[in-house]
Amino acid sequence: MNSKMGGNMSESKIKVIMKEFEIHTTPLEELVMCDYKIIVELDDINEKRHKILFKPFQAVKITTVDCTKSPDYFNEYSFRNGRYQRYILVIEDSDWIEQLKKDFTDKRAKFLNEAIHYVLPLQDNIIEIVAHNIEVQKVN
């Protein structure tokens, strides 16, 4: 699947990760930024609350769905029984990461080589995060 995400125009690939974790159609998301991590708390498809931790992060972007092209988020796992399903996505060969590398002040730094472009296509917002790691935790 190709996409024009991260504000740039060249082609990138969308990949679903954690196919067993489906985001609720009304996830009631909360986003918290602290120290070196971003925490997105939301409901899964079974209305169970989860925290998704992205750490360490390098960039974050929130865009309302009104300002996006929905086909950017379609993939072979997007539809089941005619209904759109929401998953955590990864953008491979991300133009956004490449732009961050170009803009980086210390050209010797290599930590962006390990960064991953994650996308959470939620009900009203699309949250994009460039980070090294992701961790999903169930909230009790």
Q: Name the residue with higher pLDDT: 77 or 110.
A: 110
pLDDT at site 112: 92
Q: Which of 6, 11, 23 lies closest to 115, judged by CA?
A: 6
pLDDT band at 3; cut points 50, 70, 90? very low
CA atoms within 13 A on the CB side of 19: 8
| Percentage of residues of the chain with pLDDT beyond 90 | 54
pLDDT at residue 12 in the model:
65
pLDDT in tens, 79-95: 555 555 788 999 999 99
Q: pLDDT, tens digit, for every residue of 13-46?
A: 888 898 899 999 899 999 999 989 999 999 999 9
pLDDT-derived band of residue 2, with 50, 70 and 90 as boundaries? very low
* Interval 51-79: pLDDT, tens: 999 999 999 999 988 887 655 555 555 55
Q: Give strand ranges (E) for 65-95.
A: 79-80, 83-84, 86-92
pTM over 0.75: yes
